[in-house]
Amino acid sequence: MDKQLHWNTAYATRQEDGLTWFEDTPKQSLDLIQTYATPQDGVIDVGAGASRVVDGLIAAGYKDITLLDISATALDVTKTRLGADYATPTYLVTDITRWHPMRKFQVWHDRAMLHFLTDEMSKEAYFGSMSAALATGGYAILSTFAQEGPETCSGLTVQRYSSKFLFETVDLEIRDAFEAVQDIQYMHKTPSGNLQAFQTLVLRKK
């Protein structure tokens, strides 16, 4: 499957608020990022899509924001929505499993991208990039479908996690590099009114 074509098509053929993962106000993500990073810190939103996390960060005074996604179409939606603020973030159109970070960040935020990586090679590459991109003492905020969540999304099979299983998966790929500092279970309400079980795990890089 051509992953870039899949996601470009998803964003080109549906309105932003018609996507199941849409959040008008991504309160939990913003609260967590602001807990673990100051406005002077570098924040990367992985699998950013057309998420409104960046809008909230800009409104809160954050300037060092990087948006990474495989879909240029998704990031173009964000650029258009941001208007005069479109130049504030750095935009990276790339496959996270093939990306080699050239700098360090204080926070790595991923809401609902990691669970699309279902093979071991992709997971190993993802966590390798995450570790390389985070400064010592930096935080990874990882939100995925919980174990009782959907088995598929956007026509693709997903990997569901509990917070414990996710930590064990990270530790298996990058031994003793992170410690768990917070976990949250919550229900996401889709635009159509369906409920999806999510978990969020916050890790600190040692």
- Residues 70-120: tens digit of each pLDDT: 999 999 999 999 999 999 999 999 999 999 999 999 999 999 999 999 999
Is a pLDDT exceeding 90 seen at residue 204? yes
Tell me what the pLDDT averaged over the chain comes to: 96
Place of tokens 């956007």: 154
- What is the spatial distance between Cα 13 and Cα 72, in angstroms, rounded to a whole number? 14
pLDDT class for 15, splitting at 50, 70, 90? confident
Q: What is the pLDDT of residues 171-188, one digit of tens each?
A: 999 999 999 999 999 999
Residue 20 bridge partners (DSSP): none
Q: Provide the pLDDT for residue 8.
A: 85
Mean pLDDT of 115-129: 96
pTM over 0.85: yes
pLDDT score recorded for residue 164: 97
The pLDDT assigned to 1 comes to 77
Confidence of residue 16 (pLDDT cuts 50, 70, 90): confident
**Structure token pair of residue 129:** 């990039």
| CATH class, range 3-205 | alpha beta
Alpha-carbon torsion 53, 68, 195, 191, what sign?
positive
Residue 52 corresponds to which tokens in the numbers above? 């409104």
Is pLDDT above 90 for 14?
A: no
Share of the chain above pLDDT 90, in %: 94
Neighbouring-strand partners of residue 67: 45, 91
How far is 111 from 115, CA to CA, in rounded Å?
9
